C-alpha cells in the first residue's frame, strides 16, 4: 500500500481523533456534504421526474408525434389527412414505434340548463389506445369505439365536468356550428371522466366517436384528421422524427407533442437551468466547507507534518496524505446523504406526500425519477470536485518548516 493512502487511513480512523479540537469542524464538514447530497438528489430526481411526467402526459394523450394535413390551420377543426403518399404501415413497422391511432377534431359547445363550456371533440377510431388512456381515468369507463354506426358515449375532463356539474352516466347536449348552416345538435352520454393535469388539454378536450366528427365535418367514412404516433421510449423522438417525415408525403406534416404547446416546453426548459444553478451553488458550499476542514486539519497537525518532513516525506506525499484524509472524512457524509435523500424520494414516489397545484405545475404530486446513473454521478462528482479543489490549499504544507513545526504547540 502506498504511504500517503496508508498514513491517511491511520490518522482518519485513529481513536485519538475522537477528542481532538477538530471534531466539531469535521462534523460540520460531513454535515455539509450530507446536506449537499440530499438537496442534489432531491433537485435532480424531482426536476427530471417533473420533465418526464409532463412530457409523458402530453405524449400519452396525443402521441409523441402527430401527423396532420398541411392544410390544417390554427382552428381546432381538422383538415382531412392526405393518404396518397402516407406510408402508415411503414411507420408502424419502425423499430421505435409502439403504435398509432387515428383521430379527427371539431370545436363546439357543451350546454346545460344553467351553464355552457367551449370544447373540442377529439373523435377517435377503432385503433384508439384505451390501455394507454387508462392512466388518465378518474371515474367511469372508456367506451369501445368500433366505427360501426355512431357511439354516443364520450369522456369528459374533470375540469369540464366540474364546470358543468356533471358526472359519469349523465347526459349532455353538444352544439357544433358550420359555416352558412344551422347549428348541429348532438346528445351524448358521459361514459367516464379523465384528468391529465395539463391545463390546455383538460380545459378543452372531450373524447368521442370519430364518426360524429366525420358527419359534422362532411368527411368520407374512412377520412381522418390526423394520426398520433406512439414511441416505445420518448428518448427516441429526435432519432425517429426525420424517419417519419420521409414517410408522410409532402401534403402532410409531422409535429412533436411538445411542439404543440410551446409555453409548456419553455416552462420545462427552466428545470435544466434551475437544476444546474442549484447544483452549482451546493458544490460551492460543499467545497468551501471541505477546504475549511483541510486547513484546520493542517494547522492542528503541524507537528505531524514537521515530523514527516524530518523522516524524509516529500511535500507531495504529505499533501496527498491530507487530501486523502479529508476525502475519507467526507465518506460518512456521502453515505448518510444518499440514505436519507433516497429514503425521502422513495417515500414521495410511493405515497405522493408533497402535492402541487396542477394549474401552475401541470402535475398534482411531485414526480420522482430515481435514475441510478444520476445518483452515482452526484456522489462521484462531489468527491471529484472536492479532490480538485483541495489541491491548491494543500500547498500550504510546503510552507511549513520542519524545525518550526516540531516546536509548534
pLDDT digits (tens, 9 = 90+) for 27-66: 888 899 999 999 999 999 999 998 888 888 888 998 999 9
Alpha carbon distance 147, 216 (integer Å): 15
Compute how many other C-beta atoms are within 10 angstroms of the C-beta atom of residue 29. Answer: 25
Mean pLDDT of 297-301: 75
Cβ neighbours of residue 181 closer than 8 Å, sequence gap 6 or more: none
Q: Where are the domains of the chain?
A: 3-56+265-407, 71-250
Which one, of 43, 3, 10, 4, lies nearest residue 273 by Cα? 43
pTM for this predicted structure: 0.81
The CA distances from residue 121 to 177, 207, 210, in Å, are: 13, 6, 9
Burial (Cβ within 10 Å: 0-12, 13-18, ≥19) of residue 364: middle
Mean pLDDT of 143-154: 93
Q: Mean pLDDT check: name the lowest of 285-289, 304-308, 317-321.
A: 304-308
Instruction: Give the angle subtended at the CA of 97 by the CAs of 93 and 98, to the nearest 5°.
Output: 100
Q: Mean pLDDT check: name the lowest of 150-154, 275-279, 322-326.
A: 322-326
Is the pLDDT assigned to residue 278 strictly greater than 70?
yes
Q: Mean pLDDT check: name the lowest of 272-281, 312-321, 386-395.
A: 312-321
Q: Each residue of 225-255: pLDDT tens digit? A: 999 999 998 888 989 999 999 999 999 999 9
Q: Assess contact for 336 and 29: CB atoms under 8 A.
A: no
Helix axes 315-351, 23-62, angle to 10 degrees: 40
C-beta contacts of 167-175 below 8 A and 24+ residues apart? 167/139, 167/193, 168/139, 168/140, 168/141, 168/192, 168/193, 169/140, 172/110, 172/111, 172/112, 173/110, 173/111, 173/112, 174/108, 174/109, 174/110, 174/111, 174/119, 174/121, 175/108, 175/109, 175/111
Most confident residue range from 179-183, 212-216, 296-300, 394-398: 212-216
Mean pLDDT of 219-229: 94
Is the pLDDT assigned to residue 346 strictly greater than 60?
yes
Is the pLDDT assigned to residue 1 strictly greater than 70?
no
Q: Mean pLDDT check: name the lowest of 80-94, 128-142, 306-320, 354-368.
A: 306-320
Residue position matching grid coordinates 465518506: 331
Q: Assess contact for 210 and 224: CB atoms under 8 A.
A: yes
Alpha carbon distance 333, 158 (integer Å): 46
Is the pLDDT assigned to residue 18 strictly greater than 60?
no
Q: Assess contact for 250 and 85: CB atoms under 8 A.
A: yes
Amino acid at each position: 500500500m502506498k504511504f500517503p493512502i496508508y498514513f491517511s487511513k491511520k490518522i482518519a480512523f485513529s481513536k485519538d481523533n475522537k477528542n481532538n479540537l477538530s471534531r466539531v469542524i469535521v462534523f460540520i464538514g460531513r454535515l455539509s456534504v450530507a446536506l449537499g447530497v440530499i438537496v442534489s438528489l432531491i433537485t435532480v430526481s424531482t426536476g427530471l421526474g417533473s420533465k418526464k411526467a409532463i412530457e409523458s402526459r402530453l405524449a400519452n394523450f396525443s402521441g409523441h408525434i402527430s401527423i396532420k394535413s398541411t392544410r390544417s390551420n390554427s382552428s381546432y377543426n381538422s383538415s382531412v389527412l392526405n393518404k396518397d403518399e402516407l406510408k402508415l404501415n411503414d411507420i408502424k413497422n419502425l423499430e421505435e414505434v409502439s403504435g398509432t391511432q387515428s383521430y379527427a377534431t371539431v370545436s363546439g359547445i357543451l350546454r346545460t340548463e344553467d351553464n355552457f363550456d367551449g370544447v373540442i371533440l377529439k373523435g377517435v377510431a377503432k385503433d384508439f389506445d384505451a390501455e394507454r388512456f387508462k392512466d388518465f381515468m378518474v371515474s367511469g369507463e372508456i367506451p369501445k369505439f368500433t366505427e360501426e354506426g355512431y357511439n354516443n358515449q364520450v369522456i369528459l375532463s374533470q375540469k369540464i365536468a366540474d364546470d358543468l356539474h356533471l358526472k359519469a352516466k349523465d347526459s349532455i347536449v353538444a352544439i357544433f356550428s358550420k359555416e352558412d348552416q344551422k347549428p348541429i345538435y348532438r346528445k351524448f352520454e358521459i361514459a367516464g371522466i379523465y384528468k391529465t393535469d395539463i391545463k390546455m388539454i383538460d380545459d378543452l378536450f372531450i373524447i368521442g366517436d370519430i364518426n360524429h366528427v366525420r358527419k359534422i365535418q362532411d368527411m368520407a367514412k374512412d377520412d381522418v384528421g390526423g394520426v398520433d404516433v406512439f414511441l416505445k421510449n420518448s428518448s427516441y423522438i429526435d432519432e425517429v422524427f426525420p424517419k417519419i417525415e420521409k414517410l408522410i408525403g409532402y401534403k402532410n406534416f409531422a409535429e412533436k407533442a411538445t411542439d404543440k404547446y410551446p409555453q409548456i416546453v419553455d416552462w420545462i426548459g427552466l428545470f435544466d437551468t434551475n437544476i444546474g444553478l442549484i447544483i452549482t451553488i451546493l458544490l460551492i458550499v460543499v467545497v468551501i466547507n471541505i477546504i475549511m476542514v483541510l486547513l484546520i486539519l493542517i494547522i492542528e497537525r503541524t507537528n505531524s507534518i514537521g515530523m514527516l518532513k524530518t523522516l524524509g516525506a516529500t511535500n507531495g506525499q504529505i499533501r496527498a496524505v491530507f487530501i486523502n484524509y479529508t476525502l475519507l472524512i467526507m465518506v460518512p457524509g456521502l453515505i448518510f446523504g444518499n440514505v436519507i435523500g433516497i429514503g425521502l424520494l422513495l417515500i414521495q414516489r410511493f405515497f405522493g406526500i408533497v402535492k402541487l397545484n396542477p394549474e401552475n405545475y401541470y402535475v398534482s404530486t411531485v414526480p420522482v425519477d430515481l435514475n441510478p446513473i444520476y445518483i452515482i454521478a452526484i456522489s462521484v462528482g462531489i468527491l471529484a470536485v472536492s479532490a480538485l479543489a483541495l489541491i491548491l490549499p494543500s500547498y500550504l504544507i510546503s510552507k511549513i518548516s520542519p524545525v518550526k513545526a516540531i516546536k509548534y504547540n
